[in-house]
Structure 1
Amino acid sequence: MVAPLSSWPWNNLGVYKYLLYGPLVAKVIYSKSWEESGRDSWCLHILILCALRGLTHQLWTSFGYMLFLVRRRRVIKDGVDYEQIDKEWDWDNFLILQAFMAALACYMIPNSRGLPIWDFRGPPIVMILHVLVSEPLFYWAHRFIHGSGYLFQNYHSIHHSSRVPMGFTAGFATPLEHMVTGVIMGVPILGSLSFGAGSVGLVYGYVLLFDFLRCMGHSNVEVFPYRIFEALPILRYLIYTPAYHALHHTEKNSNFCLFMPLFDALGGTINKKSWEFQKETSKGYDEVPDFVFLAHIVDVSHSFHCTFIFRNFASIPFSNRLFCFILWPIAFTVMLMIWAWSKTFVLAFYKLRGKLHQIWLVPRYGFHYFLPFATDGINKQIELGILRANKMGVKVISLAALNKNEALNGGGTLFVNKHPDLKVRVVHGNTLTAAVILNEIPKDVKEVFLSGATSKLGRVIALYLCRKKIRVMMLTLSTERFQKIQKEAPADCQQYLVQVTKYQAAQNCKTWIVGKWITPREQYWAPPGTHFHQFVVPPIIGFRRDCTYGKLAAMKLPEDVQGLGMCEYTLDRGVVHACHAGGVVHFLEGWSHHEVGAIDVDKIDVVWKAAMKHGLKPVK
């Protein structure tokens, strides 16, 4: 039997739970319409306060994910995985509960009517009541819950199930716990009202400061320099730190205080490692990744899919949502700021086979790559990323999508030729991309139509298929390029490569491999039942209902991957683009060569078998 008040009654409502704010919104509208005043205005204040509290949790969570700023000061080194994100998905349930607790208090307490904007007598009273009542009350309640097997197992264990504390974790608890927290938070406010020193500003200030400190403690980023505590040792007992609170999450038998370690000191429950651990974390550390995937943002809307923007959104496959359009102007402004930023971002990380893999982000958007005047700047950013990885001791860096564009840098050859002494292996990963596409093609296919036929991927796909005695219609207007590729094929296979110059030539072919953007009009020439394989970035839009469309080449990472909590563009969880997977395989195999420039057709089966050996799986 489920323990009472251990689950939220609106769990099954999904996003419709926000309709529970409806009575408060209705009351605000009613009050404004009838020009009422007094206590009814508190409904508006409650709604504003809920929004500000939610924003506080969001900003602290975003800060914790800004690895390009905080990676050296992370307290717990692990990444936040999908399991934790899903558990904390409805972290804001407590705001609904405490909103109605506040509304009930406003209508039951006469002193809550007509409060002034500010009263200077209020803050000292609130501070005294917080230290003398709220802090010890929370400490003893918290310690009691940990000492009670029933209470901890049925209530508090849910909060501790989050392995890596984040801003959202501060709000992830059961209804009973948040009712208790709401009472503890309300004592100083109610006390100030009792003394006639309450004010609107005091309520806003105390509640937001309360949430701010809660989120700070759960942020997993040590924000206090250790020298402050060495200069003023008494501060150690007046304010807790993220490192201090993290020890409570990992060891569970110490550091029970709300915000002031003084009460742990009085109760004899300070973890002996607290101060040294805080000092070590504050100093920062360098954890060198073994593998780096150098990505870029696809478009303005896709920028919302970064973990430090909206974590929940980033944990599911990308698709345009209503809020993407509403916030588009803000995202465009941020894009201009990011474009001016000169450094590569650390976007995310995960561990595979016990080794650290990181995803770095070049601060450029997809359309930038097609602006002639932006070429040098983009290559400079990619080069800086490679040199940074080389200096850190990274073993393999894999270039994503347009970062290895042939017209941009020759598939990475520009950097390898310019820096012949690179220790880091530069990999475009296209060998595995080609292998994934080729292994998607049914074994009984005798003919394919290939657009983008003279590109890096198009060339090797054509050469591989012709060796299998499959007829390849290569769409290209350049006879010279076609003949050059045809001559690379074995003499007895050259006849299987056929140059075509129009899409009409494929009107009877049901297997299309698309390496170049095609319009709805061009797709019209495919016969019903055609399947469009593709390696074009961005992917083509499926206009034909009588045809099927494959996604970009991708592979599922092995089951032992840890700490991965974001999706790559439109791909499912745990699935990465084939070029990303190609870099992973390159690292796991310990290959010492660069994989840049033209793809070696003889390496396709070798790379594919290596991927299978290491537990990567094709996406069906």
Structure 2
Amino acid sequence: MAPPLSSWPWASLGIYKYFLLGPLVWKVAQEWAEQGGAPLGSPWLHLLALFSARGLTYQFWFSYSNMLFLTRRRRVVPDGVDFRQVDHEWDWDNFLVLQTLIGAALVNGPLPLLPGLKDLRVWDPRGLGIALLLHVGFSEPVFYWAHRALHGAPLFGRYHAGHHSTPVTQPLTAGFGTPLEALLLTLTMGVPLAGAFLMGAGSLGLVYVHLLTFDYLRSMGYSNVEVISHRVFEAVPPLRYLIYTPTYLSLHHREKDSNFCLFMPLFDLLGGTLNSKSWELQKEIYKGKNDGVPEFVFLVHVVDIMSSMHVPFVLRSISSVPFENHLILLPFWPVALVYGMLMWCCSKTFLVSFYYLRGRLHQTWSVPRHGFQYFIPAAKAGINRQIELAILRADRMGVKVLSLAALNKNEALNGGGTLFVDKHPDLRVRVVHGNTLTAAVILNEIPSNTKEVFLTGATSKLGRAIALYLCRKKIRVIMLTMSSERFLKIQREAPAEFQQYLVQVTKYQAAQNCKTWLVGKWLSPREQRWAPPGTHFHQFVVPPIIGFRRDCTYGKLAAMRLPKDVQGLGSCEYSMERGVVHACHAGGVVHFLEGWEHHEVGALDVDRIDVVWKAALKHGLTPV
């Protein structure tokens, strides 16, 4: 049997736990209807407003700390947050639900402990001074000794071990814990407020200021990013005992026997638990001690406004699962639009996420351009300029391989990366489009007994390579293309004895008896109707086609699962499953792991398809 207060009573409700706040919403709705407008004096409304504002405080700090293009040089622990930690901390906001319910109970019952709670003045400066004194005199020492007690046996194993099971602290980690820990936190937060009210100095403003400041400092400490310069502490030495830092708290999470304070290291000094490394390490980290140079970079781009919210620094719960158009994202659409426009104006690549493979740093950079811009002729030069700047930056940093994603290697845009390699022949970084492995993945999905395939996008880089590979296997390739010149050029590349297996067609009707379609060009519902029942659509088109036919099956974009020893990966790559990346991404990884010195740009070398495939399997990448 689990110890009391070690698990949440609504743990089985999942997302439906928010319905526990339904009575508050109902009360606000009733008062709104009665007053004919927003009930600004309603305590229920303020409880809901505080719940939202406090949650956003943790969320905004989470977003900032994970904007790696701003914070990577000042990260305390350089490791990434993996899926295990994301799932472990999924219900981090349970304490907010609990404290809101406690607030509702205090409002609903006129307890003598908090007189006047239903009729608060807007502001009383005396209350802030009283709350501050009570925080220093009561909350800090009580939290310190209670925290030390939680680290003793058997309390640690029963109540506190879960909070310490995550090696990389995040603002959301601050809220994760057991009900006992949440009640302890509620006590340390609530006593200063209660004292101010009992002394007749309580106010609505004090409630907001005290709670949001408390949450702000908690989020800052758990942010894993240094935000206060070491020069400030050197200029005012006593300040280091009045405010903690993310480094200070991180040492507690890693070593567990020091730095127990709430916000003020003074109490660790008095209690003899101050870690002597706290300030020197903080100085080193602020100066960039953990700023690592990646050896592999995958240069991605945004598909549309909705998918731009799938990046790891927006909503961790959303980015840790394959992308879908969730209704919860709709209210944030205007924010994403403005942010996207800001990125366009800045016109700089930025670091989105990272992971470690074989102990080496792999990073994902992003070009701040949406998918539709790649098809605007006027935007071509600007997009290429941003890709070029990213390549040159990677070259200066010492990156070994940079792989181009999807539209960043579009043939019409830059010839599959050829433009940059030709313009900068002395590049040390290897530029890779990864399409060789993409072709290998698609080809290895085709059943071995297949005798005929229908190929759209037949004269593209991938289409050409697939056609030439299959014809050598004596598989008839029906190539849809209007250009006889381009078809003949590809046909002449095939050995003479296999050229007969390449057939040009100009209409979809020609494939009405072929059940294996290789799709490299977007298909409308009208075009898909020519496929016979039972057809499987293999895809290498961006964006992927929509499955309109219920009597057919649709493959996903070519992808591979990363090796099992990958570390720090906590977000999904677009619509891919956890741990799965697009084949072009995987192709760059293989290029790096093999140490190949050539650029992989422009036309595909058909003879290397099997070589790259075997290398991928050798390094532990597996087909999905």
TM-score range, shorter chain: over 0.9
Residue 90 of structure 1 aligns to a residue in which SS?
A: coil
> Per the alignment, in what secondary structure is the counterpart of residue 136 of structure 1?
helix
Matches within 5 A, 1:566-577: 566-577=571-582
1:271 alignment partner in structure 2: 275
Distance 2:39 2:270 in 1: 44
Q: Give secondary structure in 2 for the equivalent of 1:281.
A: helix
Contact 1:31 1:40 in 2 (8 A): no
Alignment of 1:353-368 (within 5 A): 353-368=358-373
The amino acid of 2:558's aligned partner reads A
Structure 1 unmatched runs, 5+: none
Secondary structure, aligned partner of 1:576:
strand
Is 1:47 aligned with 2:48? yes
3-state DSSP class of the match of 1:307?
coil
Q: Say which is worse superposed, 268-277 or 26-35, in terms of deviation.
A: 26-35
* Structure 1 partner of 2:211: 207
What corresponds to 1:104 in structure 2?
A: 105
**Which AA in structure 1 matches 2:337?**
F
Counterpart in 2 of 1:253? 257
| Deviation by residue 1:509-528 (Cα, 9 ceiling, x = unmatched) | 00000000110000000000
Report the Cα distance in structure 2 between the residues aligned to 1:38 and 1:586, rounded to whole angstroms: 62
1:445-594 matches, cutoff 5 A: 445-594=450-599
CA shift, 1:267, in A, is 0.3
1:110 deviation in Å? 2.5
SS across alignment from 1:164: coil
Counterpart check, 1:283 vs 2:287? yes
For residues 44 and 345 of structure 2, what CA distance do their matches in structure 1 show?
A: 43
**Corresponding pairs, count:** 618
Shift of 1:33: 4.4
Q: Partner letter of residue 187 of structure 1?
A: V
Partner of 1:118: helix, strand, or coil?
A: coil
Structure 1 residue 34, shift from structure 2 partner: 4.8
- Residue range with higher mean Cα deviation, 136-145 or 317-326: 317-326
User: Once the 2 structures are TM-superposed, how far is the Cα of residue 299 of structure 1 from its aligned partner?
Assistant: 0.8
Normalized against structure 2, the TM-score is what? 0.97
Which amino acid is 2:18 matched to?
Answer: Y
- SS, match of residue 273 in structure 2: coil
Q: After the TM superposition, which residues 119-158 of structure 1 pair with which residues of structure 2 at under 5 Å, given as runs?
A: 119-146=124-151, 148-158=152-162
Q: Classify the secondary structure of the residue corresponding to 1:203.
A: helix
Task: Determine the C-alpha separation between the residues in 1 that align with 2:63 and 2:383.
Answer: 26
3-state DSSP of counterpart to 1:116:
coil
Residue matched to 1:296? 301
Give 1:564's aligned amino acid: L
String of CA shifts for 1:63-107, please: whole Å, max 9, x gaps.
Answer: 111000000000001000001011111111111100111222333
Kindly indicate whether the alpha-carbon contact (under 8 Å) linking 1:290 and 1:357 is maintained by their aligned counterparts in 2.
Answer: yes
Paired AA for residue 359 in structure 1: T
Residues 96-245 of structure 1 mapped to structure 2, 5 A cutoff: 96-106=97-107, 107=109, 108=111, 109-146=114-151, 148-245=152-249
- What residue identity is the alignment partner of 2:64? F
Distance across 2 between alignment mates of 1:404 and 1:426: 10
SS where residue 426 of structure 1 aligns?
A: strand
Q: Which secondary structure does the structure 2 equivalent of 1:102 belong to?
A: helix
Aligned to 1:345: 350
Compute the displacement of 1:39 (Å): 12
**Cα distance between partner residues in 1 of 2:249 and 2:598:** 46
Give CA-to-partner distance per residue, 1:164-217, whole Å, 9 cap, x none: 111110110111110111011000000001110000000100000000000000
| CA apart distance, 1:119 | 0.5
Q: Is residue 39–residue 114 contact of structure 1 (8 Å, CA) maintained in 2? A: no
Q: Distance in 2 between matches of 1:40 and 1:216?
A: 31
Name 1:412's counterpart in structure 2.
417
Alignment gaps of 5+ in structure 2 = none
- Per-residue CA deviation, residues 392-423 of structure 1 (Å, 9 max, x unaligned), is 00000000000000000000000000000000
For 1:311, the aligned partner's letter is R
- Write the distance in 2 (CA, Å) between the matches of 1:442 and 1:213: 58
Asked if 1 retains the 8 angstrom alpha-carbon contact of 2:374 and 2:407, the reply is yes
Kindly state the Cα deviation for residue 28 of structure 1 after the two structures are TM-superposed: 2.5
- Aligned counterparts of 1:580 and 1:380: Cα–Cα separation in 2: 21
Cα distance between partner residues in 1 of 2:266 and 2:564: 44
Letter in 2 for 1:341: C
Q: What SS does the corresponding residue of 1:474 show, helix, strand or coil? A: strand
Moved more, 17-26 or 192-201: 17-26
- Partner amino acid, structure 2, of 1:487: R
For the residues of structure 1 that align with 2:379 and 2:225, how far apart are their CA atoms?
36
In structure 2, what is the Cα distance between the partners aligned to 1:327 and 1:506? 44
CA contact (8 A) 1:244 1:255 kept: yes
CA contact (8 A) 2:115 2:197 kept: no
Tell me the SS of whatever aligns to 1:159.
Answer: coil
Does residue 389 (structure 1) correspond to residue 390 (structure 2)? The answer is: no
Shift of 1:331: 2.2
**Compared with structure 1, are the counterparts of its residues 474 and 129 closer, same or farther at alpha carbon in structure 2 (3 Å cutoff)?**
same
Per the alignment, residue 20 of structure 2 pairs with 20
Q: Distance in 1 between matches of 2:328 and 2:524?
A: 28
RMSD (Å), alpha carbons: 1.4
CA separation of 1:38 and 1:417: change in aligned 2, threshold 3 A = closer
Cα distance, 1:473–1:60 mapped onto 2, change above 3 Å: same
User: Aligned to 2:116, what secondary structure does the other structure show?
Assistant: helix
Whole-Å separation in 1 of the counterparts to 2:332 and 2:362: 31
Give, in angstroms, the shift of residue 113 of structure 1. 3.0
Give distance in 1, aligned partners of 2:497 and 2:40: 89
Q: What are the Cα deviations for residues 442-499 of structure 1, in whole angstroms up to 9, with x where unaligned?
A: 0000000000000000000000000000000000010000000000001100000000
TM-score, structure 1 as length reference: 0.98
Distance 2:105 2:478 in 1: 73
For residues 618 and 464 of structure 1, what CA distance do their matches in structure 2 show? 19
Partner AA of 1:278 in structure 2: Q
Cα offset, 1:48, TM superposition:
0.6
Distance 2:330 2:241 in 1: 47
Residue 465 of structure 2 aligns to a residue whose secondary structure is helix
The aligned amino acid for 1:60 is W
Q: Letter of the aligned partner of 1:12 in structure 2?
A: S
- 2:362 is matched by which residue type in structure 1? H
Alignment of 1:23-102 (within 5 A): 23-34=23-34, 41-102=42-103
Tell me if structure 1 keeps the 8 A contact 2:115–2:198: no
3-state secondary structure, aligned to 1:596: coil
Query: 1:375 Cα deviation (Å)?
Result: 0.2
In the other structure, the counterpart of 2:620 is 615
Q: Deviations over 1:546-596 (max 9, x none)?
A: 000000000000000000011111110000000000000000000000000
Q: Greater shift after overlay, 284-293 or 325-334?
A: 325-334
Q: For the Cα contact (< 8 Å) 2:32–2:39, is it kept in 1? A: no
SS in 2 for 1:420: coil
Contact 1:68–1:345 (8 Å) recurs in 2: yes
- What SS does the corresponding residue of 2:613 show, helix, strand or coil? helix
Deviates more, 1:279-288 or 1:536-545: 279-288
Q: Percent identity?
A: 67
CA offset at residue 324 of structure 1? Answer: 3.0
